[in-house]
Amino acid sequence: MSKRATIPYNLKEPSNVICYENDESQPVRMGDIVSITVFGYEASESEVTGELMEVSYGMDGFIDSVRLYNHKNDYLSTPISCEGVIYKPEE
């Protein structure tokens, strides 16, 4: 079994990793199935779920966005702004 990388909250402090917002005992790892809340117009929100494929950081070192792969629809999302807030999907 290969070890998947955990996700640093800030690149300037890579030992401080992101844990799931709804399960703080579990670190988020690349390749995990995750959920991200997407905020739309007029304060609407929806949830996007998929395999964590990419994490992008801003100039300040903090997470800016992620990209998820949806296996059901064979679709890689456009970058989703998340600011490090990631949820473990309900089973």
CATH number at residue 85: 2.30.30
- 71 or 57, which is more confident? 57
Q: Are 66 and 55 in contact (CB under 8 A)?
A: yes
Rounded average pLDDT over 45-71: 91
Rounded average pLDDT over 10-15: 88
C-alpha to C-alpha distance for 77 and 62, rounded to whole angstroms: 20
CB atoms within 10 A of CB 43: 6
| pLDDT given at position 65 | 92
C-alpha to C-alpha distance for 71 and 4, rounded to whole angstroms: 19
| pLDDT given at position 1 | 44
Count of domains for the chain: 1
**Secondary structure element (H or E) that encloses residue 38, with its range:** strand 33-39
Residue 69 has pLDDT above 90, yes or no: yes
Range of the domain at 61: 1-91
